[in-house]
Structure 1
Amino acid sequence: MGTTAEDTGRVAGKTVLITGVSTGIGFAIAEDLMQRGYLVCGAVRRLADADGLVTRWGQAFVPLVFDVTDRTALNQAVTQVDEVLGGRYLAALINNAGIGPSAPLLMQPEEEIRKIFDVNVFGLLAVTRAFLPALGARSGGTGPKGRVINMGSVSGVMTLPFMGAYSSSKHAVEAVGQALRRELKFMGIDVTTIEPGFIRTAMFEKTRTELKNDRYANSDYGPMWQRFTAMLMQQESKAAPMSVVLEAVRHALESTRPRIRYPLDKAWHIGRWMPDRAFDKALFRMLGVNAK
């Protein structure tokens, strides 16, 4: 998955917008692209995070303080980015912001499920619609049209128990990406989806903290939930390095022919092609479920 000399020629003087850059994958993508010569407009939710990143990254970084679910703040960010662009087009919008607390779907608080969809789906769509003119869905701009790069997940093609809400949102991201790709192609705007599995980031510390509360340990799901959380924590040692995501982002951004999707985990292929009942049987065995 390399880039050619022609591809890397796209980099000079380019500006990208990335949501969710304060930690994890978004932070790593922003830092990598700045090292490659991009100006990064990065969205964070707190002013304190923005100040810290400006101190770290300097003039290569333009902080945007908004939550993807806050339409008023989003509109203000559009104005800010337009001023930075000065009539040029964005090279790319990278929709990275996302959340995904785990829980039995029948017991997860409704407001938590709605929050997952507000951020992962409706927020992604709102940001994309808001910045489409800056990407090239308007006349009069200068430079090549931009690209939309959505951060999906292996959970967009396979659903594990206790990850129903998150997985449903990532299935929706798949559908949104497909629709946008087919609706924006005539404008010259490419849309692609990157689909990682477990990536070695600080997310595991956050997940470990969330799971320690054992809020479902005393429910009917107790034994199954405990096996699930143990299985999830075991993935930390098997997580892929951040470099696999960074390489995919570079290709999606710089290649003259970006892929429609970038599956980055073998589980993606298992989830897509393995028969459901065979997959169920393997899962039930791992979770200690006696399924006749």
Structure 2
Amino acid sequence: MSPTSSAPVALVTGAAGGLGSATIKKLSDAGWQVIAAVRTPEALSALPLGLGSVTPVVLDVTDPDSIHAAATTVAPVLADHGLDALVNNAGVIVQGPVELVPPHALRRQFEINVLGQIAVTQAFLPALRRAGGRVVNVGAVTARTAVPFFGPVAASKAALASLNDTLRLELKFLGVDVVLVEPGALETEIFNKADKAAADDGWAGETEARQRYVKALGDAQAAAAKQKATPVEKAAGTLTKAITTRRPATRYLIGQDARALSFLRILPDRFRDGLLLRTLGLSRASYPKPAESAHAR
């Protein structure tokens, strides 16, 4: 990529993932130059490097030194023009019952999905201001409507959504747009990675507490498997629109499930809770009544 290129420039974090990789290809096809950021050198092999318009860079959003090094590396590419779009796509999913999620896993969730996104945004804001660019944050519809066993990721994305809205107000007068994209379930490997991470992290709590959730987790997973996930190519199309369109909306939903969950937000809490629990097969009648405690007697 030449520092003197007249093509618009986007930096995409989480570039080796399904959504990131598909978005890079669409941006390249649309004539954009793309700085593709991945967490480790090993992840570089997953990038679509056959495209001449893609420049790889290693950037760990949780490591201030890595962020600084990446910003220094791409500074000649941005030159005087600056950065037209920063796409905060890097993220992880920590899942499971809140009672059982280990503190270190919950901490990692927020370090990557919230603190890391803001750290990267802060580092590239000077370049974004020079270009009159745009920040596009990839959130999740569960930030609007909580779903059982996705509390950690929903909480992190809700925090990101709040910061997104604040940045949209704070940066508008400086000529920088801020947009939030909220996918539902996607046909990517991120959920398989979440399952593996949960297995690696293990569960907090006593054995009795873990056993309490075994059937509920199985029922919820079976119900979720029946839901239609959005193909990653379609999701990348919406994300690319948020990046490239001249007058972007403030928010974009991706997927029928995202639109449905967004609608549920307006329903009364108890009604919405019952509807979600029934949909996920978590009707109270399906589970044994907890043993009566000594206090109750």
After TM superposition, the score normalised by the length of structure 2 is 0.84
- Contact 1:19 1:94 survives alignment (8 Å): yes
- Contact 1:208 1:233 survives alignment (8 Å): no
C-alpha displacement of 1:262? 0.6
**Structure 1 residue 196 corresponds to structure 2 residue 190:** no
C-alpha displacement of 1:126? 0.4
Alignment match, 1:231: 223
Residues 208-219 of structure 1: pairs in structure 2 closer than 5 A = 209=196, 218-219=210-211
C-alpha displacement of 1:57? 2.6
Greater Cα offset, 217-226 or 122-131: 217-226
- Contact 2:92 2:190 survives alignment (8 Å): no
Change (3 A) 1:62 1:276: same
2:55 is aligned, of 52, 59, 62, to 62
- Contact 2:18 2:232 survives alignment (8 Å): no
1:260 is aligned, of 246, 250, 257, to 250
Alignment match, 1:17: 11
- Contact 1:145 1:188 survives alignment (8 Å): yes
- Once the two structures are superposed, what CA deviation does each residue of 1:36-95 show, in whole Å capped at 9, x if it has no partner? 1111111111212224536x3343211111210000010011111211112111110000
**Structure 1 residue 185 corresponds to structure 2 residue 172:** yes
Alignment match, 1:40: 34
C-alpha displacement of 1:233? 2.6
Aligned residue for 1:89, secondary structure, equals coil
Identity of aligned residues (%): 36
Greater Cα offset, 251-260 or 149-158: 251-260
Residues 141-220 of structure 1: pairs in structure 2 closer than 5 A = 141=130, 144-207=131-194, 209=196, 218-220=210-212
Change (3 A) 1:250 1:240: same
Q: Which runs of 5+ in 2 are unaligned?
A: 204-208, 290-297
Aligned residue for 1:187, secondary structure, equals coil
In structure 1, distance between residues paired with 2:83 and 2:198: 39
Alignment match, 1:250: 240
In structure 2, distance between residues paired with 1:272 and 1:222: 28
- Contact 2:8 2:84 survives alignment (8 Å): yes
- Contact 1:211 1:229 survives alignment (8 Å): no
Alignment match, 1:6: none
Aligned residue for 1:40, secondary structure, equals strand
Alignment match, 2:25: 31
Change (3 A) 1:12 1:288: farther
Greater Cα offset, 162-171 or 258-267: 258-267
Q: Which runs of 5+ in 1 are unaligned?
A: 1-10
- Once the two structures are superposed, what CA deviation does each residue of 1:125-182 show, in whole Å capped at 9, x if it has no partner? 000001000101xxxx4xx411000001111101111111110001111101100000
**Structure 1 residue 287 corresponds to structure 2 residue 282:** yes
In structure 1, distance between residues paired with 2:8 and 2:246: 15
After TM superposition, the score normalised by the length of structure 1 is 0.86
In structure 1, distance between residues paired with 2:158 and 2:76: 35
RMSD between superposed Cα atoms in Å: 2.4
Q: Which has the larger radius of gyration?
A: 2
In structure 2, distance between residues paired with 1:78 and 1:231: 43
In structure 1, distance between residues paired with 2:144 and 2:136: 18
